[in-house]
Amino acid sequence: MEDFKKVKKIDTHTHLNSGNTALAELAKEDNFKLLTINVDVPDLPSLEKQFEYASIQKKQFPDNIDFLTSFTLVNWDSANWADQTIAKLKSDFANGAIGVKVWKNIGMAYKDSANHFIMIDNPKFDKVIDNIISQDKTVLGHLGEPRNCWLPIDQMTVRGDREYFTAHPEYHMYLHPEYPSYEDQINARDRFVERHPNMRFVGAHLGSLEWSVDELAKRLDKFPNMAVDMAERICHLELQSQKDREKVRQFFLKYQDRLMYATDKVFESTSDEEIKKAKEQLHNTWFEDWQYFVTNDKMTNNKVEGEFQGLQLPKEVVDKIYRLNAVKWFKIKESKI
C-alpha cells in the first residue's frame, strides 16, 4: 500500500467535462495520468464542448492528460455520413485526440430511416473504422451493457447497477423487451472485432462481459486485437472473487497484457464543495482499488454485498494493468507519463 503514490499509473477511462483542472491536479499528486473520453451521451455536454474541455485539460496538464474523441450518428442515412465523420476525426486527431470512443447508443438508441436499430457490425461503419486504423488510432467501445441490465432491479448482482438502472430506466433493457437482447449486443460487437482484425480495440467496462471472467477469456483468446478496461466494473471482479478468488487471480495472471485499470469518473463539478467531494471520492476509489489488486486483505465496499479478498498480484502484473498496457494499446508516449 505504501507504494501507491510512488508508482506511475494511468486511469484509462474518465470524463473531465469541465474547464476546472482539480482532478488533473489530484492525478498529478497521486501519480496518475488520466485519459478523458469524449462520448456521444445526450445528457453530457455536446461533443464539441467535450473536445474543448479535453483540450483545456491537456493544455494545462500536458504530461498528465490525454483524450479520445467521438462521433455522432446524426445524419446516418445521408450518403455523406462516413466522409463527414472521417473529416471530423482527422481534424480531432490533428488536434490531439489519440483514439475514438463508440458508445452504447449504437445498438441501444440510434435507428435508421427504416426504424431498425443501428448495430456496430453494420458495414456502413467500415470506411470510418478503416480510416481510424490507417491513422494508427485505437477504438474504445462501450457496446452493450452489463448482463444485469436485462434483469429486474431486485435480481441485479451489484449495488451500482441497481442504482444506475433505477436512475436511467431508458437504458434498463428489462423494461424494453422490444430492444436488441444482451446476446444481440455481444454478438454484434464480436462480429465487429472479427471484421476488423487490424483494429486496436479496447472493450470498455470489461467488454460488457463483467459477469464472467470465463466468458471474457473466450473473447480474449479469440480476438488478439482486443483488450478491455475495468471502468466501473471492478465490483464485478470483487463479486467473483467472493466465489472463487483463485480463478479471478489466475485470469489476471494469464491475461495480464490485455487488462487496463479505469474508473469511469465523470467530473462536471463547479462549486468548491462539489470539487472537494469529487476529489475525495476519486482518491478513495483509486486507493481502495489499489488495495484490491496489490494486497490479500479482507475487504468490503458499498458496491458489493459481503466480504472479499484482495488479489495480491505480482508487481510486474500491477505495472501492466496500471500503466504499460495503456501505453501499448492507446499508443501513449511514455516520456509524457
Of 218, 190, 214, 215, residue with least CA distance to 203: 190
Burial 121-159 (b: 16+ CB within 10 A, else e): bbeebeebbebbbeeebbbbbbbbbbbbbbbeeeebbbe
Check which CATH number belongs to the domain holding 177 and give it: 3.20.20.140
Q: Is residue 61 part of a domain?
A: yes
What value does the mean pLDDT take over residues 25-46?
96
Tell me if 1 is assigned to some domain: no
Structural domain contains residue 3: no
Range of 218's domain? Answer: 9-336
11: which residues sit within 8 A by CB, 6+ positions away?
Answer: 27, 32, 33, 34, 35, 261, 262, 263, 265, 286
- pLDDT tens column, 275-302: 999 999 999 999 999 999 999 999 999 9
Mean pLDDT, residues 297-319 taken together: 97
Cell of 97: 485526440
111/77 Cα distance (integer angstroms): 10
Would you state the cell numbers that stand for residue 14, as one nine-digit string? 474518465
pLDDT value for 309: 98
Q: What is the tens place of the pLDDT at every residue in 119-178? A: 999 999 999 999 999 999 999 999 999 999 999 999 999 999 999 999 999 999 999 999
Give the tens place of pLDDT for each residue, 179-215. 999 999 999 999 999 999 999 999 999 999 999 999 9
The helix or strand, by DSSP H or E, that contains position 108, with its residue range, turns out to be helix 105-108
Element (H, E) at 210: none
Q: How many domains does the chain have?
A: 1
226 belongs to a structural domain: yes
CB contact at 8 A, 308 and 318: no
**pLDDT (0 to 100) of residue 335:** 57
Neighbours of 55 (CB within 10 A): 17
Domain membership flag for residue 243: yes
Q: What is the pLDDT of residue 270?
A: 86
- Asked if residue 336 has pLDDT above 70, the reply is no
88-121 pLDDT tens trace:
999 999 999 999 999 999 999 999 999 999 999 9
Per-residue pLDDT of 210-240, as tens digits, reads: 999 999 999 999 999 999 999 999 999 999 9
Nine cell digits for residue 94? 490533428
Taking the C-alpha atoms of residue 120 and residue 17, their distance in angstroms, rounded to an integer, is 26
In a domain, 2, yes or no: no
pTM of the model: 0.97
- Residue 166 domain-assigned (yes or no): yes
pLDDT band at 337 (very low <50, low <70, confident <90, very high): very low
Whether 48 is in a domain gets the answer yes
